[in-house]
Amino acid sequence: METKKISKILIANRGEIALRIIRACKELGIKSVVVFSESDLNGVWVRKADECYPILGDPVAAYLDYERIISLAKKAECDAIHPGYGFLSESAEFAQACIDNGIIFIGPKPEHVALFGDKMASKVAMREVGVPMLPGTDEPIDNIGDAEKIAADIGFPVIIKAAFGGGGRGMRIVEKASDFKEMYESATKEAQRFFGRGEVFIEKYLKNPRHIEIQIVADKYGNVVHLGERDCSIQRRHQKVIEIAPSPRLSEKVRRELYRVSTKAMFKLGYESVGTIEYLVDAEDNFYFIEMNTRVQVEHPVTEAISGIDLIQRMIQIAEGDPLKFLQEEIKFRGYAIEFRINAENPKLNFVPSPGLITNYLSPGGPGVRLDSMAYTNYQIPSNYDSMIGKLIVSGLTWEDTVRKAQRALDEFLIEGVPTNIPLHRQIVRDQDFIDGKLDTGYLDTKLNTFNLEAIHNMDDEEAKMKQIQGIINVIKANNLNVRH
Ligand code: ADP
């Protein structure tokens, strides 16, 4: 068993996840180093890290410039790099370059990063180890003739996806044969534009399935455990908005089967580090693999809340060569947790991103509330990155208790200066279908036009209270009264 203690980590990321990794480092007694772009001078994580190094020039390219990042890691004498999510986290080349430079890449082996970065190769590999697939293609398609024939064989509706993509880009749902050609062309064009490769694949499109994903933790010695599932069915444009652990409506039988299939597959493939296997579950409880993510997920805190296991610390310890300290039977899940992605975007204007200055920020707190956020009063949200400025995670012993906490915590949350999606979250947690756990990937689309996004609960009360307090202050000032404390 080869172990190497890590004493200093470079975090090749920004925002809330950089802050999250700094916190894990501090608790483990590891020094943290961040690199930051010109746009992130005011980033709170830059202040919290032990050391920081600017990367000037284009603010997005800064976080992708891996030669620069590796040379800074060497200069700062870091023994490891944590990539977070996004940016370089799914670059096999970067993972390999770290290793070649004698730096530990905190994540899976480069070969697994490469395998699962290729959606079709990962389908082939996962099928071989017993994971169920949707009807569809395993080979990249690069001409319309083949594509049309395959779509007809699968049967409409079908979904076209970019082979080397993600984030919903290059994805098209095709309801009928006569629409296929046009959709195929626009999907390949978009894939080419975003990912530099136009290849696509086709699979059966399920109507309103649930998105269920399994959290895996595996060490270097073949010990593989799962940390339960997350239900990420509340999505807008195929992007997650709210994530829940465990799923409020999943039969025990399917749950067990998902756990069994997922851990077995990861064991057989020799996977190490944390990872997430994503599935779609149809109305009859059949489940199908869609993709595997070889990094920490945005929504990892809900799993931490119900399992009590710190996933970032575990990733670091696995990278150090530590064997897993717990067996599957020792992992106990407790209660429920819900994560709300807090985005600077305007729900009233079709969710257009709304970067800008936060003029007032009052965070929620109290029992069962966790906030992973980079926001604060006077924070200027840069326009160069995605619109997520934090995550609110609530947890409770029962689903009902957790929903009530979510309602209360969202009502407490005040962000002024820029529009956010908090009013949307407040509506969702009061919606009866949400309360009943009736969720699928069509949920938000159906609900959006029934929600009143003007309604901002409790804020009227708060404003009235502020006015009352201001009135009292004015009287005190006018009469030159002394206030006794
Ligand atoms: P990306 O990597 O672009 O995020 P995924 O394959 O992970 O794409 O899918 C994202 C979301 O798109 C899923 O959670 C689901 O809502 C929808 N989706 C993907 N594939 C299908 C499918 N075959 N049928 C129905 N919905 C799908």
Domains of the chain from N-terminus onward: 8-106 (3.40.50.20), 135-204 (3.30.1490.20), 216-457 (3.30.470.20)
Residue 19 Ramachandran class (φ > 0 left, ψ -120 to 50 alpha, else beta):
alpha
- Cα of 428 vs centre of ligand 1, distance in Å, is 22
> What does DSSP say about strands 31-37 and 51-55: parallel, antiparallel, or unpaired?
parallel
Task: Report the pLDDT value the prediction gives residue 461, as an integer from 0 to 100.
Answer: 61
Instruction: Indicate if ligand 1 lies below 6 Å from the C-beta of 49.
Output: no
Q: Radius of gyration over alpha carbons of the chain, in Å?
A: 24
CA 379–ligand 1 middle distance (angstroms): 34
Cβ of 238 less than 6 Å from ligand 1: yes
Residue 484: φ, ψ to 5°: -85, 135
User: Do residues 434 and 391 make contact, with C-beta atoms less than 8 angstroms apart?
Assistant: no
pLDDT of residue 139: 83
Ligand 1, from 211, 238, 441: best to mutate by most atoms within 8 Å of Cβ?
238
CA of 387 from ligand 1 middle (Å) equals 21
**Two tokens, residue 331:** 């992992």
Contact 91, 113 (CB under 8 A): yes
> Is 295 noted as a catalytic residue in this protein?
yes
**CB of 134 closer than 6 A to ligand 1?**
yes
pLDDT, tens digit, for every residue of 317-338? Answer: 999 999 998 889 999 999 999 9
Looking at ligand 1, which atom is closest to the CA of residue 168? 3
The pLDDT value recorded for residue 484 is: 63
Ligand 1 pocket residue status of 462, Cβ below 6 Å = no
123, 164, 171, best to mutate for ligand 1 pocket (most atoms within 8 Å of CB): 171
Per DSSP, the three-state class of 278 is strand
**Average pLDDT estimate for 24-37:** 98
Place of tokens 């470079």: 10
Tens-digit pLDDT profile for residues 278-296: 999 999 999 999 999 999 9
Identify the band that residue 182 occupies on the pLDDT scale cut at 50, 70 and 90: very high
Kindly give the distance from the C-alpha atom of residue 212 to the centroid of ligand 1, in angstroms, as a whole number. 11
Q: What is the 290 CA–ligand 1 centroid distance (Å)?
A: 7
Look at residue 167 in the predicted model and tell me its pLDDT.
83
Ligand 1 contacts CB of residue 157 (under 6 A): no
Of 228, 183, 234, 230, the closest CA to residue 208 belongs to: 234
The pTM of the full predicted model, rounded to 2 decimals, is 0.94
